[in-house]
Structure 1
Amino acid sequence: MAIRRFHQKSRGGCHRCKIRRVKCDETRPICRNCIRQSTECVYSEPGPRAPPISPQPDVQDNNGLYDALDLLLMHRFATVTAPQLFPSAQATHVWQNILPVSAHTEPLLMHGILALAGMDLARMDGDAHSAYRTRAFHHQQMGLSIFQEMLQKDNSAQIHAIFPFSLILVILAFASAHTEVAEPSVDTILDIFALFRGPRALAAANYDAISESEYYVLLRPTDTKPPPRLSEEVVRQAEKLRAMGSDDVARVATRQLADAIEVSAQRFDLRVIGRWPAMLSDHFFARLKQHHPEALVVLSHYSIVLAAFRERWWVGPWDRMLLSAVSHALPGSEQTRLDWRLDHLETVLDRHAGVSEALDAKA
């Protein structure tokens, strides 16, 4: 019988954690639960201020003006962060040139790109790590407030800001895990999966408007090149997935993942990385939430897709983190029954790692 974990009751948690009846770590300005779920974090009582970002002054509204650290973040985004988001040349042009110009009149996009640059810099070792991380979370929170307000209205006229910000939220969710001490659990990973459904829903509801904009290349890249040949082991894993599934729900999920694995050698992060989480049926997603053993085994193979983009700063070691999370969630008896071996999958990942980057090098 599972042992129920009891937590010391906290009265100073944020509104969101109180509503969900989960323990809040009371981190200011944004608790970790709200960071993982990309939700607005509001406290009833004013708490201690976030650590000052020395030697820079605190962020001030000042009618949209930003401080010296934000100028540094903008420079980082335009020169380093943006080219490392999506690999295609057209997508890089959008991130590096279109978005910064649009951000001049769209605070939502300004907060989004500054949050990305801050999280990028937070990966670096040194005294400034916490300062960059704090500033990144500040801009993420500011952007979320605007984003949620926009979603409550008719957003068709603002889709050119809302759609790219929904993508930014997914990237931030992946990137923020690199700055956490503890690795993500299966439940945390599924919270991130839920974010993938946002861009898909927005794209479906506003497809015509997006297809006529510069942002369409983020959804459908066009500069395709022949993908490299997949290793025999990766091909076998895809074939094995197609043969799995005890019912229609599982069979559809496994075939979708097998398709994603086979195209993961292509260079388009959004289309490949986001395809499977966004396409999952509600029924299979529910099985994952319940830690159904067979569903967890299928989930572990999603790490093959992630491994192809290991060299992207916001993806990094996510393939190994996913495998570790499944290993902890899947009981040893079930691993034996289902013939699931962590070391075998790790070998597959290493053979597939960076395959999309290798194609970039040849281009």
Structure 2
Amino acid sequence: MRATTIHGPGDIRFTEVPDPVIAAPTDAIVKVTGSCICGSDLWHFRGENGPIDEPRTIGHECVGIVEEVGPQVRRFKAGDHVLVPFCQCDNTCPNCQVGVQSACVNGAMTASGQAEYARVAQADGSLVRTEGVPDAATMPAMLALTDVMATGWHAAVSAGVRPGSTVAVVGDGAVGLCGVLAASVLGAERIIALSRHADRQRIARAYGATDVIAERGEDAVAALKELTGGVKADAVLECVGTDQAMRTAFDVARAGATVGMVGAPHGVELPLRTMFSKNIGLAGGVAPVRRYLPELLDLTLEGRIDPGRVFDVTLPLDRVAEGYAAMDERRAIKVALTPIS
């Protein structure tokens, strides 16, 4: 098959690789009908996740049609259209049972989402069926559910967003914007988005942000304190993963607040003295997508949320390298990829 492969920092190619095969009786092979590039893929693209010793496939967000299933798969059959959570799970292990499907003891990650086919481990526990094939209008939202919408939702849930609360969202990428949307759905009264980019600010406001702060660092903290009368935020969503973003998140959190962390951490040092002295908590981590997917799918189909608005560029799969460059250079918020014939 043809797939996106990474060969080194900044080196993305669309190449021929072996077809995925049923490796375990619980596997399924999915023909990818839609995929996209994630902000977390950029850590690899920029060389921030360590050396790439040999070329490998990349991409973990996709939807598609079941092509083949292993002998122990009972809930799905060839021809089913499905959402593929980026973190796969059996949905029955002790970790799954307490809602942490992202730490499933039999879990796996989608390894070739930006390709023609993907293997899904634990198909019965991972996949979520949709009615028919999403059309061009609904495909972006379906794609967003496989990662960024669920991850933004996880940030809001982990931070304890409640009706009437004041929420600050650090990060204006697709996850941060989905965090704004999640906070709105969960009933936050005031949602303060930290964003310096006009295109992202517009989506944040459309998703429910009541205020936007364009400053960074100490200036952002001062601006938020002024907006809240010095109280600061009841809940904070950290959707970046850098040390600066984490410091800002704790600096804008009121005493007793919780920071919901979903940005993949790189070089982060926690302010333990601040956490201790002000009773500020930290929760979150890798989003248990399968836990949230049924509710988020219902919200999407009911028209209550449209997470697909975070996609502002669509390219055919064989131009995937252009998509990586556009996101890396912040010329795109999130890039959708369409199959090629």
The question of a shared fold, defined as TM-score above 0.5 by the shorter chain, is answered with no
Using CA pairs under 8 Å that are at least 6 residues apart, name the structure with larger relative contact order, 1 or 2: 2
What TM-score, normalized by structure 1, do the two folds share? Answer: 0.28
When you count strand as a share of all residues, which structure comes out higher? 2
What TM-score, normalized by structure 2, do the two folds share? Answer: 0.29
Structure index of larger Rg: 1
